[in-house]
Structure 1
Amino acid sequence: MFFPYGFWRFDPTVIILIPAIIFTLYAQGKVKSNFAKYLRVPTRKGYSGVQVARVLLDQHGLQDIPIEVASGQLSDHYDPTKRVVRLSGEVYQGSSIASISVAAHEVGHAIQHANGYAPLSLRNMVFPIARFGSSAAWGFIMIGLLIPSLGGLMDIGILLFGAAVAFQLITLPVEFNASSRALRLLDSNGFIIDEETKGAQNVLRAAALTYVAAMASGIAQLIRLILIRNSRR
């Protein structure tokens, strides 16, 4: 969202967003290209994503967690509220390096939840605030910008947006830990052989990069909002 000074002059703070936008586009392209590349590379052992997920869940005493098919591509996730692992069709049925890597990653989140992994618990606590903040922040910010006498509303909006950025920061260790767990589990259970490890790493690192990009974008926007707020005082 761009905020001109007045309604006729260019807002120079937009420049702050440019590196973050470029980084975000790069990260999105990276995850899509890596996923597409390794989705075409079958594993030597031939296990499907759902088979890998089921074995790993059962191995950690999580037999009660079901595995469902999620619609769309790259829609894989673990739902901590309903305690269910959802895998996209390509991951659920596929036996590629990408399929089993993503499946193991989502199981990593389920294991985190079961073990009370602190960053995940914190993220789940912050999530309702962050969800409200990300949706409500811009309303407060816009009103504060358009009506100077209500400038305090912009401060509220910035605080709400800051909560969303804090959620993104907390998300990073959660995602990195789930990926490292996934690699260890795939290797220790013999789902991948040595020459397939690099492919699994590439898939998981590219996915993690999107969270780094989201955090960088959020921080850049937060800095920009603070500069705009300060310039109007």
Structure 2
Amino acid sequence: MPGRYYGYYYYDPTYMLIVISALISLFAQFLVNSRFSKYSRVRSRSGMTGAQAAERILQSQGIYDVAIQRVSGKLTDHYDPRNKTLNLSDAVYASTSVAAVGVAAHECGHAIQHARGYAPLSFRSALVPVANIGSQLSWLFIILGIFFGGSHTLIMIGILMFSAAVLFQLVTLPVEFNASGRALKLLSETGILQKDEVSDTRKVLSAAALTYVAAATTAVLQLLRLLRLFGGNDRD
């Protein structure tokens, strides 16, 4: 295992990857909360709520079989392709702010991706069960591998399973970027927001996109750390 002892202290250079991951995640979360809070106080000129904006966007794309419903929580907005529901949080559903309208439009972007058969979304959906199993069981195999005398086989199975979760995070990036791009374009084309309002909304969605970049970066750095720690271990 890489690392050196200095007196009573053990130095592991891979700890820096954990620190970098934590800093990136904290910054991304701060930025999205800050921008959403700021632009939640800016009322859109159209006066449309997030739910109303979502309905108009979906209808403009000929989509009438997606139910728009309210869910509790903050920024818990999501589109569920399994039952074709567009779920908007309390801060978005009935709010007329440019932030709320932007978030609602972004979720519409996912509904449109689903309706159009957008390949990266389909691939990500197929990865969900594999990624879930990988994220839940990977550390179990790694810990068991360490417990049983540093079993290289068990550890590498754990790392391989964790890699599936990393792949899911990477595939999520184009899906989210595309949904935001569709949202901004349709907000302008449908007249729901004016040009300067779209610019404000772009800031909110860009901050939200950074959280996905942070998640993917964190996953990749964690994978690199595992490979650094155990990749060269050939004991079984």
Bin the TM-score by the shorter chain: over 0.9
1:26 lines up with 2:27 in the alignment: yes
Deviations 1:129-171 (A, max 9, x none): 0011011111001111222253311101100100000001000
1:138 lines up with 2:121 in the alignment: no
Report the Cα offset of residue 4 of structure 1. Answer: 9.2
Q: Is the Cα contact below 8 Å between 2:54 and 2:105 reproduced in 1?
A: yes
The equivalent residue for 1:82 is 83
Higher deviation after alignment, 140-149 or 91-100 = 140-149
Report the Cα offset of residue 190 of structure 1. Answer: 0.6
The equivalent residue for 1:107 is 108
The correspondence of residues 152-163 of structure 1 with structure 2, limited to 5 A, is: 152-163=153-164
CA distance in 1, matches of 2:177, 2:231: 35
Match for 2:143: what amino acid? M
CA distance in 2, matches of 1:4, 1:57: 55
Report the Cα offset of residue 125 of structure 1. Answer: 0.7
The equivalent residue for 1:48 is 49
The equivalent residue for 2:187 is 186
CA distance in 2, matches of 1:153, 1:101: 45
The equivalent residue for 1:218 is 219
Deviations 1:10-62 (A, max 9, x none): 53311122222111110000000011111111011111000011111122222
Q: Give the direction of change, closer, same or farther, for the CA distance of 1:35–1:149 in structure 2 (3 Å limit).
A: closer
Equivalenced residues, count: 230
Q: What is the Cα-based RMSD across aligned positions, in Å?
A: 1.8
Report the Cα offset of residue 194 of structure 1. Answer: 1.7
Query: Percent of pairs identical after alignment?
Result: 46
Unaligned runs of 5+ in 2: none
CA distance in 2, matches of 1:187, 1:230: 50
The equivalent residue for 1:175 is 176
Q: Is the Cα contact below 8 Å between 2:51 and 2:104 reproduced in 1?
A: yes
Normalising by structure 1, we get a TM-score of 0.94
